[in-house]
Structure formats: structure tokens, C-alpha cells
A and B are shown apart, each in its own frame.
Chain A
Amino acid sequence: MAKKKIYIIDDDHDVIDAMTIVLEKNNYEVAAQYDDENVVENVKAQMPDVIILDVMFPEDSSAGFNIARQLKSHDDLQRIPILMLSAINERGIYVGRFSNKDLDESFLPVNLFLEKPLKPAALLEKVASLIGK
């Protein structure tokens, strides 16, 4: 069986490295980008099974929200599930941890949230649940 591909979009190298270690040991293929540029093109080139997306990027503290909306507005990309990292709300202010109760298609079209700091077991469980869908 071909390896499932995970595409990570995060500005923190260490976060990406840590997730890569965990995912590769668990038989996933991992690709990543470290900024919020040309995301749609990159995702189209990779066509991953799951996207892991951070919220805050250096130039835009809510870039992740826009990226999620962009990805979901493309017919050929919208079926790719998005796992969103972090715990910052759209107004840019920490409001407590996101929970899956906060999922709202129109406000924030992502499929699941994953809290930082990441727990390897939680990461694997959520990725698996998104692929199983």
C-alpha cells in the first residue's frame, strides 16, 4: 500500500522536524513548507492526503485562516482534510484552547484542531482519523 502523504505548513522548523520524525516513523510520507507563500500551487503539486496548517506566520498573524479558506474554495483541493494547529483565535487574541466544538465551516473551514505543544499520540490519532474518513 502506498504511503499516505502529509503536507505541513508551519513557520517553525522545529515543529515541522518533530512532526516529521513522528509521522515518518509511523509510515507516512511528509512534505512541508516553512512560509505562507504559494500554498495553493504547492498543495496542487503535492496532492497530500492530509494538510497540517499553522495559524500564525511572521507577516500575518492569521494567515492560516485565509489559507484554509483558499484551499477549501478550490474544487480539486477542498476534499483534502485540514488539521489546524495552534490556539490563537481570528481576532488574534488567545481565547482559550480551541476545541472541535469551535469547528464552523463558514467561519473557519478546517476539519480538526490540534493543540500545541503537540503530543505525538494525539497527532497520530487525528491524522489517522482524517485519513480514515
Chain B
Amino acid sequence: METANIAIVGAGKGGYECLKVLLTTPNVLIKYVCDIDPNAKGVMLAKQHKISYVARLSEFIHDPEVDLIFESTGRPEVFEELSRAKLPTTSLVGSGGTRVIFSLLDSYNEVNRSLRSYKMNLERRIIERTEELEKLNTELSKEKAATERLYEQQREINEEKSRYLIHTTHQLKAPFAAIHNYVDIILDGYAGPLAQETRDLVLKIKTRCELLSETILDMLELARLKAQDLELVREDVDLCAVVNDVVERFAVSAAAKRLLVRVDAPKEPLIARTVGKRLFELLAVLLENAVKYSPPDGSIEIAMKVASDGKRVISIMDHGIGIPEANLGKIFREFFRSNNAVRFEPNGNGLGLAIAGEIANLLDITIEVESELEKGTTFHVRI
């Protein structure tokens, strides 16, 4: 847009207002301010802005560069004189038009100013927000690095734990295996014939060896479960198949006590998303206990169903010695055994249910127990 050269005639109140508006209007050059009174308010403002001040019309009226004259004295004779004397290329706006134009211009400038200040505000806020975000980002990176460091430390600790477990395994198992080997060799007669009393005593050693081996393995298993040092790959597992495997595993020990193990399984496969191998271990603990704490010639029932909440429930019911009510809350503790259990079966380490409880924790399985002394115990495994 081309710059308009302007002259303002009359620098009193009206001219002053014109001047003020024009000074903030873009693409406008105020070439002259004309008034008879050199002390008029508008003249003072013009001088501050280094605008040419003239006292007479004749001093600028023939300047061909003037595009537009604003007449703001409001006096008809001044307007007439200007109309007469101005060059044909110069436009003239009378005082009425000037007032309208300047009120429009003023509003326009006001809007512009608001827009500018809004824009500046916006820019300032964008800058502030950007700075805040950058600060936040830096903090987040620091936190992330700290978390990664922690994670790394945790991983190292876990590896250290695993290594410790391996070496503990070896340190505990190897000497034990050696003792056990010799006991077996003696019992098999490789060291010569055994008197019956000697044989009985060595058999006691062998029994305790076997128990201690089991305990070492159980302790390590428990430590690994607690350290969550296990690969847990969940798959669709047919619970009927797992139950059948568990029953098969204890078939010999159940038969030795002439126990009947009845499985009430649905005809269709009963599928659950879980870790089959660990579930097997959990159920194995429960069935082993059921066999161990049942009197001979009894029975054990295993039932499977889908509960109303969609959970799969496996229930293992025995008719054995039962658990004293006061102990029901303690049975998942490590090494805990009830007195009646120890009396009935001295050999045991109190780790089985602790292992089952840890597996249940890891797999989000709940184990509920109902028991009555001398009547039996039922475990409900909800998967």
C-alpha cells in the first residue's frame, strides 16, 4: 500500500485528535499541520514529532505531494478557500467527514492495538510455556535416567541372587548326594552283607537323607518363587489334563495306602490362561498332602467346575486328619506344621503349602481351605 501524504488544517481540539490518530496509523505520512495559532495543542504535538508546522494555507496548498487534506477547523470559509486553492490532485475532506473518518480510524487503531497486544501476549505465553515444557522435559529425562539406573541395579541384584542360589544349590546338594550315594551302596550290599539291625539304622539314615534332599530342593524352589526368578509364560491350559498328570504322579503313593482318587472332570476340556507347569506344582502339593494325611483305605475327590464369576475352580477333598481351626491362617507359612500333622506323619518340612501359596500369588490364583478335624480338608483352587 502506498503511503498517503497528509495535511491537517486546524490544530485545535479536533486537529489534535486527528493528529494523534494519524500518528499511530500505518502507511500515513503527515506532511503539514496548519494553524494560525502557533501555540495550538496540535501544533505542539506536531513539533514533538518533527512535522512541518505552517501558519498559512498558502505555505502548503501548492505542494503536489500532498494527497489529502483534512479540514478540522469546522469553519466554512476555511473549507471554501481550501476547495478553491487546492491542486486538482489533492483531495479534501471537510470537518464532518474528518470526524467520521477519524472516529473509524480510531476504532480501527484500537482494534489493531488490541490485536497487537494480544499477539504479543500470546507470543510471551508461548515462550513461557515452551520454557516450562523444556524444563519439564529435562526433569523427565533425569527421572528416566534415575529409573533406568534403579532398574539396572535391580537387575544386577537379581542376577546376583540367582548366582547365589545356584551356588547354594551345588554346595548343599553335592555333599548330600555323596552321603546318599554311599548309603545306597551300603544298602545294596556293595560293602558286604548287613546285619538286620545295621540295615534298619542305615535305612533311617537314608530316609532322613531323602527328606533333607527334598527340603533343600523345596527351599530353593521357594527362594526362587519369592525372588520371582521364573519365566512365567501364560498359555491356554487344559486343566483336566493338568489334574490327570498330577493324579498320575501320585498314583503309586495313593495305591500304597489303598486310596481311591476320584476325578470328577467335565467332558469338554476346561481351559484357563495360566502357567501349566507351575499350576501342576501347586496342585501336586495339595494332592501330596491329601494322600499323606489320609488314613489308608480312604478316598480323595477332585472336582472341577466353572464358577459363576467365570473362574475355574479345582477342588481337592480328602477325608483325612483335618487342620485345627486355629491353624487355618498359618498353614501357608514356611515350615509351619500342625501338631496333629506331625503326629500323623513325622516326615515333612512344612514347605509344601508355602510353595503353593507363592505360586498362587504369582499366578493370581486364590486358594481357599475348608477343614474339620478328623473329617478332612478341602482346598478350592480358583484360577
Residues of A near any B CB (own CB < 8 A): 12, 14-15, 18-19, 21-22, 25, 56, 61, 88, 92-94, 116-121
A88 interface neighbour in B166, B182, B188, Cβ under 8 Å = B166
16 new A-B contacts, CB < 8 A, other than A18-B178, A61-B166, A120-B184, are: A21-B191, A22-B185, A25-B190, A56-B170, A88-B166, A88-B170, A92-B162, A93-B224, A93-B229, A94-B165, A94-B169, A116-B177, A117-B181, A117-B184, A117-B209, A119-B184
Please, which residues of chain B bring their CB within 8 A of the CB of A88? Answer: 166, 169-170
Residues of B near any A CB (own CB < 8 A)? 162-163, 165-167, 169-170, 173-174, 176-178, 180-182, 184-185, 188, 190-191, 209, 213, 217, 220-221, 224, 229
Query: What secondary structure prevails in chain A residues at the interface with B?
Result: loop
Given known contacts A117-B209, A117-B213, A119-B184, is B165 in contact with A93 (CB within 8 Å)? yes
- Minimum CB–CB distance from A33 to chain B (whole Å) comes to 17
Q: Taking chain B's interface residues, is the majority helix, strand, or loop, or is none over half, making it mixed?
A: helix
**B190 close to A117 (CB less than 8 A):** no
Give the A-B contact count at a CB cut-off of 8 A: 65
Q: What residues of A have a CB within 8 angstroms of the CB of B177 in the complex?
A: 12, 15, 116-118
Instruction: Please provide the 10 A-B residue pairs with the shortest distance between their CB atoms, ordered closest to farther.
Output: A117-B180, A14-B178, A18-B181, A117-B177, A116-B177, A92-B166, A120-B188, A118-B181, A21-B190, A56-B170
Contact residues in B for A14 (Cβ distance below 8 Å): 178, 181-182
Residues of B within 8 A of A56 (CB): 170
B178 touches A15 (CB 8 A): yes
In the docked arrangement, what's the CA distance between A14 and B174, Å?
A: 10
Residue of A92, A93, A120 touching B185 (CB-CB under 8 A): A120
Provide a sorted-by-A list of 7 A–B residue pairs whose CB atoms are within 8 angstroms: A15-B177, A21-B185, A25-B190, A94-B217, A94-B220, A116-B177, A118-B177
Which of A88, A94, A116, A121 gathers most chain B CB within 10 Å? A94
Interface centre among A61, A116, A119, by most B CB within 10 Å? A116
Bound complex: CA A132 to CA B180 (Å): 28
